[in-house]
Structure 1
Amino acid sequence: MQRPRVLTRRQKLVRFVFNPFYAAQRVFRPSRPDLVPDPLVRKLQLWRTLLGAAAWVVLTLTYKAVSSASDVGNLASDRLEQSWHSVLVLVCTLPVVVGVFVAASRGPVRRVYLRRALRSVGAVLALMAAMFTFVLSVVPETQAMRDFVGLPGKIALGVMCVWALGFAVYGIGLSLVHVFRTADIHELVPPVLATVLVWEMALLDLTTGAYDQVPPGVRLVFVMGAPVTVTVLSVWETYRLHRYHRLTLRGALRR
C-alpha cells in the first residue's frame, strides 16, 4: 500500500500561496491533534449542506421561472448571497455561544478553550479579509485607489481578486460544514452552534418573507425542515460523542 505523500513546510507554503482551495482547507478545517475523529458524522454534515443546497435549487427552479442564462446567473448569485448571510449570522452568533461555553467552564480548561478559540477567530478574520480584497478589486467606490496604483497595481489586485474569490467561495462552504472550525475548541461546540445558527436563519427567513413566491405550505415545510433536520443531526452527533467517545458536556466544562 502506497503511503500518502508528506509535504515539507516549504511545499505547504508554496501550495498555500498558489492554491486558494488548499489554503481554505488549511484555514477552515479543524486540525487539533487530539480531535476525536468520527468520519460518519463528518460525512453527514457534508451531505446535510449539499442536500440543503440541492433542495434550494429544486425549490427555486420549481417556483421561479428560468428562461435565460442571466436567470441562471441570478440564481447562483442568490444562493451565494444566502450562504454569505448564513456566514454573517454565524459570525455574530459564534462569540456568544463560545463565550457562554468558556464562561461556564471551570479551572485551567477555560484558558485552554480561549486559546483554541483563536483558530476560529482567525478563520473569521481570514474570510473577511478575502471578501475585503474582492471589494477593493471590483467595487466602483475604490476606483480612485485602483487608478492611483496604476497598471501594475491593477494586475496585482486582479490576481488577488481571483485568488480571494476561490478562497472565499470554498471557505464559505467549509465554514458552514465545519462551523468555523469550532471543533478545535471542543467537539461538542459545533453541534450546539449549528443548531442555534439554523434556528436563527429560519426565524430570519420567516420574518423577512423569504421565498415569497412559494406557496405558504411548501414554504413553511422548507424553512422549518432545515432547523428540524439539523437539530436531529446535532442531537445524534452529541449522542455518538457520548456513546462512543465518552465526551459529555459536564466533562467538557469540568463540572
Structure 2
Amino acid sequence: MDDPQVRRLQMGRTVLGLAAWVGLTLAYKAVVSAGDVKAAADERLDQSWSSVLVLVCTLPVVVGVFVAAARGGLRRVYLRRAVRPLGAVLAVTASMGTSALAMAPELAGLRAAVGTPGKIAIGVLFVWAVCFALYGIGLSLVHVFRTADIHEVVPPVLAGVLVWEMALLDVVTGAYPQVPAGVRAAFVLGAPVTVTALSWWEMRRLRLHHGLTVRRALGR
C-alpha cells in the first residue's frame, strides 16, 4: 500500500519529536560553544541508540504476538514477510557492534599491530558501519524497520508500544535532569501521548480508506 498521507504522518512524527528535543535542549541547557553542541549531539545520539536497542528487543515480541494471534494460513504468510524486517534489525545491530569494536580501546594493540594499511581498512569499516547504523536509526524511527512489509497495521501498533517503553526508560534513568520537574513530566509524557494519538489516526485512516484493521489482519 502506498499512501502519501501515511508517509507524511510517519515523517512528521519523527520531525516533531526531534524538534521538541532541540527546543528543550536550547531552553534548559547552555549551548554556547562547539563543545556544548557536540555534547548535545552525543546525548541525542545516545538516546537514538537506546531507541534502536529497545526496538530490537521489542520488535520480535510484538511481531511474534501478531503472528501467533493470526489464524489459518496467515501465520505462514506473516512469518515469511517478517524475514526482511527482522533481517534489518540484525543488520543494524551488527553495524552498531562493528563500529564499537572498530574503535574499542581494548583493541588498540591490534590496530597498532596491523600497520597503516590495516588502520585504513579499520577506518573505512568504522565509517561504513556508522553510516549504515545511522541510516538504520532513521529507518527505524520513520518506518519502524519497514514492518509494514508484514502488514500495514503493524507499524502504528509497534510505534505505540515502543514510545511508551522509551518514556518508562526515561523515568527510570532520570533523563533530562536539568529540566524543571513539571516541564520534564510534560515532555516525557508528551511524546507517548502524541505518538499514540498519531498512531490512532493512522489506524483510523487505514480502516476508513483501505479497509485495514487489526482484526481483519489477524483473520478474525
Is TM > 0.5 for Structure 1 vs Structure 2? yes
CA distance in 2, matches of 1:252, 1:131: 33
Greater RCO (CA < 8 Å, at least 6 residues apart) = 1
The one-letter code of the counterpart of 2:143 is H
1:1-255 map, 5 Å:
36-255=1-220
Structure 2 spans left out of the alignment, 5+ residues: none
Distance in 1, matches of 2:155 and 2:41, equals 27
Number of residue pairs matched by the alignment: 220
The percentage of aligned residue pairs carrying the same residue is 70
> 1 CA distance for matches of 2:105 and 2:155?
38
* Whole-angstrom CA distance in 2 between matches of 1:145 and 1:121: 32
Taking the aligned partners of 1:211 and 1:201, their CA distance within structure 2 comes to 13
Q: Distance in 1 between matches of 2:81 and 2:109?
A: 40
Provide the rounded CA distance (Å) in 2 between the counterparts of 1:157 and 1:81.
23
TM-score, normalised with respect to structure 1? 0.83
- Report the Cα offset of residue 74 of structure 1: 0.5
Unmatched segments (≥5 aa) in structure 1: 1-35
Q: Deviations over 1:57-105 (max 9, x none)?
A: 1111111112321111010010011011011111111111111100000
User: Deviation at 1:119?
Assistant: 0.7
What is the CA-CA distance between 1:207 and the residue it aligns to?
Answer: 2.2
Letter of the 1:171 partner, please give it.
Answer: G
In structure 2, what is the Cα distance between the partners aligned to 1:101 and 1:158? 41
Within 2, Cα distance between the matches of 1:187 and 1:86? 21
